[in-house]
A and B are shown apart, each in its own frame.
Chain A
Amino acid sequence: MIEILRTGPFATVQDLGREGFISEGIGPSGAMDRLALRRGNRLTGNPDGAAAIETTAAPLELRLDRDALVAVTGAEGAVSVNGAPIPTNWAEPVRAGDALLVAPSASGMWRYVAISGGVDAPMTLGSRSTDLKNGFGGVGAGRPLRAGDRLPLGAEDEMTADWREEIRRFDGLGLSPPKDAPGEPVIRVMKAREHNRFTEASREAFWRSGWRIGGESNRQGYRLTGPQLETETPMSLLSYGLIAGTIQVPQSGQPIVQLAEANTCGGYPKLGVVIEADLGRLAQVRHGETVRFRAVTRGEAIAAMAAEEAKIAGVRAIAEAVA
């Protein structure tokens, strides 16, 4: 059992989303930063697809009724157990009754609280993720968490229990912090079908300019603020299927990037698609901050994701290194 002691309005149960229902009008939903969720699951000995709690701009405090490993990944910010600070990207052995406090993100947007055994919210269409837009999944009715909620905590399988025992011997274990400080994020994008239908000036402006993440941004998508973009001639497209990462340009001339709760179809001209490896990095950019885009080929996109997969695999390799 996970008891939610304190939360803001944006904390939800998320996993890697539901596959296969876009044609029914139901998108995948799931974590905004899937790589961060997977890191948390690896650190706590869970399978990658275990559900965790996604939280952002408000404090989240919870208590477990059994011993477990917890890890907070994603956006940086303070984390403490019974008032004692612990790092992010860190597997911490906690006791039944300990209070875990996850402060609002200090830099970046989305934080993930992974717990060994996973959040055992009911499966809806093959996923535990909360779909806020369609109002289902997660703790029920697709609603965010509330103080007083009690969520079932999944049982640890043998591998997870072994990993927890291993971590307990070291009294916690985490990922080494990255060596280089991150600069202004450069997000890699593949050109989409209508890319060349935009005016040359618009195309150049898109690739050259910094784009500010607009205020009306949420789990469905982020609005970008920058130069006006326009196609050579006004375009009216047949509706097409949408996936997370698609950059559309509506009549306003200001792009929208679809994210975890992307619409399932749309009709605005598409400039490009953010590659899978950079979706989480884009999701982590805060409102008011600026990103740039860089064009990559399909081959580069695949190589970039393979590099991310290798990093994720490295988290599991630690298990073998310390065992």
Chain B
Amino acid sequence: MMKTQDIEALGRMLEGLADAPTLDLRLTRSGYAIRMKRDAAPTRRIMEVEAKAAGILRWTSADGDAPAIGAETAPRAILGFIEAETHRIAVRAPRRGVVERRLAPDGEPVTAGQPVIALRPLAG
């Protein structure tokens, strides 16, 4: 019989291995045998960037072009703005990645903490 502690330990181990590029894992415990095999790198988890304040969402970068879907972003790149009457803040890429999809359209009022864009992180 597999114990609860064993299942928790297994869960933690799998969590730790989630980003491993390839994997061949054999595990025998308490009369069970488990084998996990992965030949290709996993797709990284999509990261959602949240609005840091409320305002009107504007999909335009610092130099005017909107970030295209599939475009690569540098860390700190400005992907859009959140405008208030007098001032605006930016939606910035937290790290290197690829724009997966926008989660809200241009001109939409957003609230603080609302996810507005999804990025697929890239290594580096």
Interfacial residues, chain A to chain B (CB-CB below 8 A): 78-79, 83-87, 90, 169-176, 314-315, 317-318, 321-322
30 contacts between A and B (CB under 8 A): A79-B62, A84-B62, A84-B76, A85-B61, A85-B62, A85-B63, A87-B78, A90-B62, A169-B52, A170-B52, A171-B89, A171-B92, A172-B90, A172-B92, A173-B87, A173-B88, A173-B89, A174-B88, A174-B89, A175-B86, A176-B83, A176-B84, A176-B85, A176-B86, A176-B87, A176-B88, A314-B86, A315-B86, A321-B86, A321-B87
Distance between B7 CB and nearest chain A CB, rounded to angstroms: 41
Is residue B53 contacting chain A, with contact meaning CB distance below 8 A? yes
Whether the Cβ atoms of B76 and A321 lie closer than 8 Å is no
Q: Give the size range of B's interface with the partner.
A: 10 to 19
Q: How far is the CA of A78 from the CA of B87 in the complex (A)?
A: 19
Complex CA–CA separation, A83 to B61 (angstroms): 14
Give the residues in chain B near A79, CB-CB below 8 Å: 62
Among B76, B85, B87, residue most surrounded by chain A Cβ atoms (within 10 Å) = B87
Question: 1/0 per residue B30-63: CB within 8 Å of A?
Answer: 0000000000000000000000110000000111
By Cβ-Cβ distance, the 8 closest A-B pairs, closest first, are A85-B62, A85-B63, A318-B87, A170-B89, A87-B62, A176-B88, A86-B62, A176-B83
Partner among A78, A170, A314 whose Cβ is within 8 Å of the Cβ of B63: A78
Q: How far is the CB of A204 from the nearest CB of chain B, in Å?
A: 41
B74 sits at the interface (CB 8 A): yes
Cα A315 to Cα B87 with chains together (Å): 8
Beyond the given A176-B83, A176-B86, please list 12 additional residue pairs across the A-B interface where CB-CB is below 8 A: A79-B62, A84-B76, A85-B63, A87-B62, A170-B53, A171-B52, A171-B76, A171-B89, A175-B87, A176-B84, A314-B86, A322-B53
CB-contact partner of B87 in A86, A169, A171, A174, under 8 A = A174
Mark interface residues in B61-83 (1 if CB within 8 Å of A CB, else 0).
Answer: 11100000000001011100001
Q: Which residues from chain B sit less than 8 Å from chain A, CB to CB?
A: 52-53, 61-63, 74, 76-78, 83-90, 92
Contacts A78-B63, A84-B74, A86-B62; A322 near B87 (Cβ below 8 A): yes
Residue of A169, A173, A175, A314 with most partner-chain B CB within 10 A: A173
**B90:A171 contact, CB within 8 angstroms:** yes
Assembly CA distance A322 to B84 (angstroms):
10
Contact between chains at A317 and B89 (CB < 8 Å):
no
Which of chain B's residues has its CB closest to A80's CB? B62
- Bound Cα distance from A295 to B84, whole angstroms: 35
Smallest beta-carbon distance B10→chain A, Å: 39
Residues of chain A lying within 8 A (CB to CB) of residue B92: 171-172
Task: Enumerate chain A residues within 8 angstroms of B52, measured Cβ to Cβ.
Answer: 169-171
B82 (CB) vs chain A CBs: closest residue: A170
- B residues in contact with A83, CB < 8 Å: 74
List of A residues within 8 angstroms of B88 by Cβ = 173-176
Contacts of B77 in A (CB 8 A): 84
In the assembled complex, the CB of B80 is this many whole angstroms from the nearest CB of chain A, namely: 12
Q: Which residue of B lies closest to A311 (CB)?
A: B86
Cα distance A171–B78 in the bound complex, in angstroms: 10
Q: Which residues of B contact A171 (CB under 8 A)?
A: 52, 76, 89-90, 92
Q: Please, how many angstroms separate the alpha-carbon atoms of A175 and B84 in the complex?
A: 9
A174 (CB) vs chain B CBs: closest residue: B88
Q: Which residue of A lies closest to B94 (CB)?
A: A171
Is B87 within 8 A of A85, CB to CB? no
In the complex the two chains form, is A317's CB within 8 Å of B86's CB? yes
Are A321 and B90 touching (Cβ within 8 A)?
no
Name A88's closest neighbour in chain B (CB-CB): B62
Q: How far is the CB of B22 from chain A (nearest CB, A)?
A: 34
Chain A residues closer than 8 Å to B87, beta-carbon distance: 173-176, 318, 321-322
